[in-house]
Structure 1
Amino acid sequence: MSSSGVISLQNPKPFLKWVGGKTQLISEIAQLINKIISEKKKKFSYIEPFVGGGAILFHILNQFDKIDNIVINDINYNLVNAYREIQTNYLELIDLLLDIETQYYLLNTVEEKQKFYLAKREVFNSINNYSTEKVALLLLLNKTCFNGLYRVNKKGKFNVPFGKYKKPNICDKDNLISVHHYLQKVKILNGDFQETLNYINKDTIFYLDPPYKPIKLTSSFTSYSEHNFDDQEQIRLKEFCDEIHRQGNYFILSNSDVKNYDSSNNFFDELYKQYNIKRVKARRNINSKGDKRGEIFELLITNF
């Protein structure tokens, strides 16, 4: 609270750790969006069909006042429910998280914390309906699981092991309040990316961050939902980009660069040959082996 009695909000940031988060590519993507806005000098709608952790979304909400109609979507039901809960019922969620955090901090040993984690994971997987409790448990698991992964088995059950963090920030109250405030201007969808075409206005910018194509066979270890995003889905996404382009709108797409491990693999170069393909350096931090993390290239593909 400021001296004037007005609540001062921090800049919102992702409330979940999310594999494939775009924090490192924000400046590149922001420059591309800024290029469109500065050249056209008009207001734009913004649609993000694979919102994930929302790093780009929150940057947009912080920085771009010429974007006023914002739509986000994800196929991950639990993730979308978290966004909706923070948008509409954040105070009850914060109360639950503070209670869970207090319980967790009172535990003295790693073994006690792991037991607590596994018990909460079981409860999370047993709740089949949408509830504030399930969202609170999602945030707990995300902050205390191994590497902040979100991974489910074929039955859709969360199965990531415990992460052994000493004092994770389970309830980031100030950020949740800020995220709640900024989400008031956002429409939140839960479905197939194709359905977001229904929300195009005259001038729309899409940012597309789909499940990445594995850059080698052993890297396809994570499933964010029961749905598999295979090569046919990548081709369907390209056709989706064609439709955005046909309607006179703009898209920015990020994906893996399969040439990192196979220089002869032209999958994306052929698929998007009519568009602009830029290779940018990024760092992968999700490998369990430290020496396998490091700098690689990713793709930014645009129709401008």
Structure 2
Amino acid sequence: MSPIQHDSPRRDLAETGNKSHGRPFLRWAGSKRKLIPVLQEYWSDSYGRYVEPFMGSACLFFHLDPSAGLLGDINAELVECFCQVRADPQAVHEELATYGHGSDFFYQLREKIPEELTPVQRAARFIYLTRYCFNGLYRTNQLGRFNVPFGGTRTGKLPTLEQLTFAAKKLNSAELICSDFLGTIERVQPNDFVYLDPPYWVEGKRRTNQYGPKTFCKDDLSRLKAALEHIHEQGAHFVLSYEDCDEAREISGSWHVKQVPVRRNVAGFSQHRKIEHEMIATNIA
């Protein structure tokens, strides 16, 4: 297999900095904001759609500001939140403006049943809980109910109307789907750019940033490896980020690989946060 060549030279940071000023409206564990200077080097305006099958907060999408996108995630609440922000950012902001502060309100809101709320209320609830929960995690119990505890109020402010309106404008260029990652990848077309940032499964390591039980497990690693082959065979471009480990090396196969130092932010105490290494695998030469 021969990696796909760039159609045009990569743009350096100075060229992209004045265009890509967008930031995600969600606080999200595992966000790749710190990797953006590395990831953006693989992007080219000559590519077709931007595709992301594990979209999370979609921070790279907002940063690159592509002309067309396909964003997918298995988390239905997340996808619905994006859809509501795109459809009516002002209504979502007005709902957020009615919310209180502190742990008491957080737990009152967490106990509400999403199915009994309007779509706008569900979107606002999702934004609020992920903003103020512990470490920005989204995790559910066996019943599929959000169960992350309150994490304090030093996690920044809720998104402004301007931020939500900006996000809505950018999302107008994207199709949003709720799907397993293969469901999104099956729709990849020639010359698409696909960024994959799956939950990390590492043998013997406990993971706290999974959506729920068995959301992404050992069996998915072989599916992920096959997905990279499929993307390449379609004539599309991919970039995969994963914790640098034996599993990642197995997935990466003969693709181009580089190691990047990154500070892990998902930890119970700040003194336990440390520099680890991320693996970037790509078929872009």
Question: What's the CA shift for 1:130?
Answer: 6.2
Within 5 Å, which residues of 2 pair with 1:214-229?
214=202, 216-217=204-205, 219-229=206-216
* Residue number in structure 2 paired with 1:263: none
Q: Is the 8 A contact 2:30 2:209 kept in 1?
A: no
Within 5 Å, which residues of 2 pair with 1:1-304?
11-34=21-44, 37=45, 42-61=46-65, 67-100=66-99, 103-104=100-101, 113-123=102-112, 125-127=113-115, 131-165=119-153, 168-214=156-202, 216-217=204-205, 219-258=206-245, 266-304=246-284
* Length, aligned pairs only: 265
Q: Is the 8 A contact 2:86 2:169 kept in 1?
A: yes
Q: Which ranges of structure 1 fall in alignment gaps of 5 or more residues?
A: 1-9, 62-66, 105-112, 259-265
Distance in 1, matches of 2:282 and 2:93, equals 39
Q: Which ranges of structure 2 fall in alignment gaps of 5 or more residues?
A: 1-19
Q: Deviations over 1:62-114 (max 9, x none)?
A: xxxxx4331100000111011100111212111111111xx33xxxxxxxx22
* Residue number in structure 2 paired with 1:6: none
- Secondary structure at the residue paired with 2:238? strand
Aligned AA (1:28): V
Aligned AA (2:103): Q
Distance in 2, matches of 1:146 and 1:71, equals 29
- Secondary structure at the residue paired with 1:99? coil
1:53/1:166 Cα in 2 relative to 1: closer, same or farther (>3 Å)?
closer
Question: What's the CA shift for 1:163?
Answer: 1.7
Aligned AA (1:249): A
Distance in 2, matches of 1:214 and 1:201, equals 30
Aligned AA (1:280): V
Q: Is the 8 A contact 1:282 1:297 kept in 2?
A: yes
Distance in 1, matches of 2:138 and 2:25, equals 13
Question: What's the CA shift for 1:200?
Answer: 2.6
Which has more helix, going by share of residues? Answer: 1
Q: Is the 8 A contact 1:47 1:71 kept in 2?
A: yes
TM-score, normalised via structure 1 length? 0.81
Shift >4 Å, 4+ stretches: none
Aligned AA (2:49): S
Of structures 1 and 2, the larger Rg is shown by 1
Question: What's the CA shift for 1:226?
Answer: 4.7
TM-score, normalised via structure 2 length? 0.86
Q: Is the 8 A contact 1:153 1:223 kept in 2?
A: no
- Secondary structure at the residue paired with 1:138? helix
Taking every aligned residue pair, what percent have the same amino acid on both sides?
A: 28
Q: Is the 8 A contact 2:54 2:72 kept in 1?
A: yes
